[in-house]
Amino acid sequence: MRTRYPLGRKESPPDARDWNLIDHIPASAKLGEQEPVNVNWPFPGDTLNQDQTNHCVGFSMADYLINLPINTPCTNKDGHDFYYACKVLDGEPGNEDGSYVRSAAKALKNMGRINAYAFAPNITTLRWWLINKGPLIMGTAWTEGMFTPDAENIIHPYGNIVGGHAYIIDELKDGNLYGIQNSWGAYWGVNGKAYISESDLSFIFADGGEALSAVELSATMEKKPASILEIIIQFILSLFSKEK
């Protein structure tokens, strides 16, 4: 019998105000190149575990913050807290029916952890961003076959769709396998991570999938104190403004 892990991602309703990730890629970029490439953005932390909750959206936020290129340490408690912050934005405080990837983006922005976010329209854009910029938060359908990785630690989307799930993609191996950092504890996959082929990821992405990335800010980032010269200049400018 296959283990059923908790899901909890709901498909975000369309919103014309969303930024398109392709608009943040240089025009000179060579999208769609399929040469073998290996890119791994390390996950320098313990695998998180959402337990038997529908809080995967909140945990995808925590995993995204943990993952390099900017490491902001997070705990299971953070994952749960992030989920409840999303539910406030959903207009359903405390509700346990899952949340939206867009709510995750808005919550991270409201918390000051990111200053902008955008959605990838296709796998080609997702692939370029992963290789050149960093991880993405994914929201996709989840099938029966995806709960259990095979002997090579790869998942396959066979069987019925049983819900939606949020997770992060942080690796591309041999130009074809995408690394999923999950929030089902260390016993899923290998230390909480498994892989999915590009064709299978494209298949589930086409069914209302979402891929979100952002410009992330370090939690320890502080405003640089003004220098003495800057203070003097600001004082002089204030005097001129008072005279007008």
| Residue 234 lies inside a defined structural domain of this protein | yes
Per-residue HEC secondary structure of the chain comes to: CCCCCCCCEECCCCCCCCCEHHHHCCCCCCCCCCCCCCEECCCCCCCCECCCCCCHHHHHHHHHHHCCCCCCCCCHHHHHHHHHHHHHHCCCCCCCCCEEHHHHHHHHHHCCCEEEEEECCCHHHHHHHHHHCCCEEEEEEEEHHHHCCCCCCECCCCCCEEEEEEEEEEEEECCCEEEEECCECCCCCECCEEEEEHHHHHHHHCCCCEEEEEEECCCCCCCCCCCHHHHHHHHHHHHHHHHC
pLDDT tens-digit series, residues 79-132: 999 999 999 999 999 999 999 999 999 999 999 988 889 999 999 999 999 999
Residue range(s) defining the domain that contains residue 234: 9-243
The model's pTM: 0.86
Reply yes or no on whether the pLDDT at 33 is more than 90. Answer: no
Does residue 2 fall inside a structural domain? no
175-188 pLDDT, tens digit each: 999 999 999 999 99
Q: Is residue 4 in some structural domain?
A: no
Q: What is the pLDDT of residue 236?
A: 55
Is 110 inside any structural domain? yes
Average pLDDT (130-143) is 96
Domain annotation covers residue 175: yes
Q: Is residue 148 part of a domain?
A: yes
CATH number at 228 reads 3.90.70.10
On average, the pLDDT of the chain sits at 88
Q: What is the pLDDT of residue 232?
A: 53
The answer to whether residue 24 is domain-embedded is yes
Provide the number of structural domains found in the chain.
1
Q: What is the pLDDT of residue 161?
A: 96
With respect to residue 3, please indicate whether it lies within any of the assigned structural domains.
no
Say what the pLDDT of residue 72 is.
94
Supply the pLDDT for residue 17.
Answer: 85
